[in-house]
Structure formats: structure tokens, C-alpha cells
Amino acid sequence: MEKQPYDDLQSLIADEKKAVIQQMFFDLWEEAYEQGIEAEVVAEILVEGSIRELVAKNGEDESSRILTDLGKLEEQGAFLPRITLQ
């Protein structure tokens, strides 16, 4: 089945949203670092807050599905640092 222009537009919009929030995340992370806040503290607050908001907005079942998907990514090594051999 051929992709429709609407599908491409929706993909572009989703990619742009991800890029914007990723930049916001990196900016926050950098600001916290500059303020002397440890990475573990930042991560704990962001993860816990994100899960609470996810459950509040989407309910437990949908949130559980999303968290399960994240667990699968972790199992696949998606969160490991990327090392480049020279």
C-alpha cells in the first residue's frame, strides 16, 4: 500500500515534535548540570514525573503498554552509549 501525503505529513509533524522536546530535554539537562544538580536527581524527577503525567492523561493500561515498550527498547540496548571505534 502506498503512503499517502497525509501520512508523510503526520510523520514529519511527529518527527518535529520529537526534535523539539529532545532539544528542550538537553537544555534542561545542561542547565541542571550547570546548577550542580546530579544526573541521578534530574533523571529521577523527570522519569517519575513523566510516568505520573502519562498515567493521569492516558490511564494505567495505555501507560503500562508504553512502559512495556520502553522496557523492550532497554532489552535491545537502545539506551547504551554509542561507542565509535577509531
In angstroms, what is the C-alpha Rg of the chain?
A: 17
> Residue 78 corresponds to which amino acid?
A
CA max distance for the chain: 52
Q: What is the mean pLDDT of each run of 10 residues along the chain (86 residues)?
A: 76 95 96 96 95 96 94 89 75
Q: What is the pLDDT of residue 1?
A: 55
3-state SS, 39-69, equals HHHHHHHHHHHHHHHHHHHHHHHHHHHHHHH
Quote the cell numbers at residue 70: 520502553
Q: What is the pLDDT of residue 43?
A: 94
- What is the CA 78 to chain-centroid distance, rounded? 12
- What is the CA 2 to chain-centroid distance, rounded? 29
Q: What is the pLDDT of residue 83?
A: 76
Q: What is the pLDDT of residue 29?
A: 94
pTM over 0.75: no
Q: What is the pLDDT of residue 5?
A: 73
